[in-house]
C-alpha cells in the first residue's frame, strides 16, 4: 500500500491558538495538501497538452483486493484528468514471480509508456524486489527499483521519490528560508526519511537525522525549527516535544479507532506549532501530484515522434 492511499477522508480545518480569556493570538497554519495538489496538477495538465503524443501511465495490480482496486481507480481518474492515458495491468493473484516479470518487461516496451508502478503490497509468494527491479529504470516513477534508487541517491536522475518530493513541496509552499533553520528528519524509512534527507542535502542543507538509536532525541526535537516525520507512530509528536512556531511536515500514517492518523497529535500541538501538514489532507494528495509529475518528466524526455500505441505478444494486443 502506498502513502497516498490513506488520503480518502476530509482534512481538518485550521486550528486557532487562544490566549488568556479565550482571545485568538494567532493561528496555527494548516498546510493544505489538497490545494497544492490542484496547483501542481494544473501545471502538469498544461504541459501534457503541449506534448506531441499522449503519455501512458500504468499501474500493475496483482490480485483483486478491494482497497487496492479502489486506489488504482483513484490514480486512473487523476491521470486521465491531466490528459494522460491510464492502463491498469491486472493479473491474477496466482501469477508467479517469473510470469509477472515477463509481463512487466512487455509493458516496458509499449510505445509512449512514460511510467509504470507496481501496486503494493504484492501477494506473499511474489518476490517484491525482483518484480520492482524488472521495471525499466527510465519508467520507474515510484523510484523503488534498485537501479532507480541508486541513481536517485547519486543525483543522476530527474525521477525522484514522490513522497519525499511531496514533503519538500509542502515545505516550499510556505516560503520559509531553510538556510538558517534547524531541520530534523524523524525516521530513515525507504519512502520518506532516507530520500527526503537526500533531497535536503542536495540543496546544501544539513538535516539532523533521528532514529530509534539516537540519543538525546527529545532535546534535538525541542530545538528543531522544522520536523519532517515518517515514522508511522500515531499521534507521537505532541506539543510539549516541540519548540514554539515549529513547522511540522507529517508523512506518517497509522491505523486508529477513528481512522487514519499521522505522527503528529494535531490537538496537542495546536497551541505551539506554526505550520502543520495534516494527515489526511497533507502529504498524501501532493504525493499523487508528484507521481504524475514524474510521469510528465519521462514524457518530456522521450522522443516526441508519434508512434502507434500497440504492442503484440503471442498474438495478444496490449493496447489499442
> What mean pLDDT value characterizes the chain?
89
- The DSSP H or E segment spanning 229 is strand 226-229
Which tens digit of pLDDT belongs to each residue from 12-45?
444 444 333 344 344 689 999 999 999 999 999 9
When pLDDT is cut at 50, 70 and 90, the band that residue 258 belongs to is: confident
| Cα torsion 292, 31, 227, 175: sign | positive
Question: Is the entire prediction scored with pTM above 0.85?
Answer: yes
pLDDT score of 7:
53
pLDDT value of position 276: 98
Do residues 171 and 178 lie in contact, with contact meaning Cβ atoms separated by under 8 Å?
A: yes
Name which residue leads in pLDDT, 302 or 118.
118
Give pLDDT, residue 318.
52
Q: Which residue has the higher pLDDT, 292 or 27?
A: 292
Main-chain dihedrals φ then ψ at residue 114, nearest 5 degrees? -125, 5
Q: Which residues make beta-bridge pairs with 24?
A: 18
In b/e form, how buried is each residue of 79-93, taking b as 16+ CB within 10 angstroms?
Answer: beebbbbbbebebee
Ordered DSSP codes for 12-79: PPPEEEE-GGG-EEEEEEE--HHHHHHHHHHHHHHHHHHSSS--EEEEEEES--HHHHHHHHHHHHHH
The conformation of residue 140, written as its DSSP 8-state character, comes to: B
For 222, the grid coordinates are 525541542
Whole-angstrom Cα distance, residue 33 to residue 15?
Answer: 16
Cis peptide before 280 (omega within 30 of 0): yes
Q: What is the pLDDT of residue 43?
A: 98
pLDDT of residue 315: 42
DSSP state, 315?
T
The pLDDT score that the predictor gives to residue 14 is: 41
Amino acid at each position: 500500500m502506498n502513502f497516498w492511499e490513506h488520503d480518502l477522508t476530509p482534512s481538518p480545518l485550521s486550528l486557532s491558538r487562544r490566549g488568556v480569556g479565550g482571545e485568538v493570538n494567532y493561528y496555527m497554519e494548516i498546510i493544505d495538501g489538497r490545494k497544492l495538489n490542484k496547483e501542481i496538477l494544473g501545471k502538469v495538465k498544461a504541459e501534457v497538452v503541449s506534448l506531441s503524443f499522449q503519455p501512458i501511465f500504468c499501474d500493475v495490480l496483482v490480485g483483486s483486493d478491494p482497497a487496492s482496486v479502489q486506489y488504482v481507480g483513484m490514480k486512473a481518474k487523476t491521470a486521465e484528468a491531466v490528459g494522460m492515458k491510464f492502463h491498469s495491468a491486472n493479473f491474477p493473484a496466482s501469477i508467479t514471480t517469473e510470469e509477472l516479470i515477463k509481463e512487466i518487461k512487455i509493458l516496458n516496451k509499449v510505445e509512449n509508456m512514460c511510467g509504470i508502478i507496481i501496486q503494493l503490497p504484492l501477494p506473499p509468494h511474489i518476490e517484491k524486489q525482483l518484480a520492482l527491479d524488472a521495471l525499466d529504470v527510465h519508467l520507474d516513477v515510484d523510484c523503488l527499483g534498485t537501479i532507480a534508487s541508486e541513481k536517485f541517491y547519486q543525483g543522476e536522475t530527474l525521477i525522484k521519490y514522490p513522497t519525499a518530493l511531496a514533503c519538500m513541496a509542502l515545505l516550499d509552499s510556505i516560503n520559509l528560508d531553510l538556510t538558517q533553520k534547524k531541520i530534523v528528519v524523524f525516521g530513515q524509512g525507504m519512502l520518506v526519511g532516507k530520500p527526503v534527507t537526500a533531497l535536503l542535502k542536495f540543496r546544501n542543507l544539513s538535516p539532523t537525522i533521528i532514529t530509534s538509536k539516537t540519543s538525546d532525541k527529545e532535546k534535538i526535537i525541542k530545538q528543531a525549527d522544522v520536523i519532517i516525520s515518517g515514522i508511522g507512530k500515531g499521534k507521537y509528536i505532541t506539543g510539549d516535544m516541540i519548540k514554539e512556531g515549529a513547522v511540522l511536515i507529517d508523512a506518517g500514517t497509522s491505523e486508529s479507532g477513528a481512522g487514519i492518523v499521522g505522527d503528529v497529535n494535531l490537538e496537542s500541538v495546536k497551541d505551539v506549532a506554526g505550520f502543520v501538514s495534516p494527515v489526511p489532507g497533507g502529504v498524501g494528495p501532493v504525493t499523487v501530484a508528484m507521481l504524475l509529475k514524474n510521469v510528465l518528466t519521462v514524457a518530456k524526455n522521450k522522443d516526441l515522434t508519434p508512434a502507434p500505441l500497440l504492442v503484440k505478444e503471442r498474438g495478444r494486443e496490449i493496447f489499442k
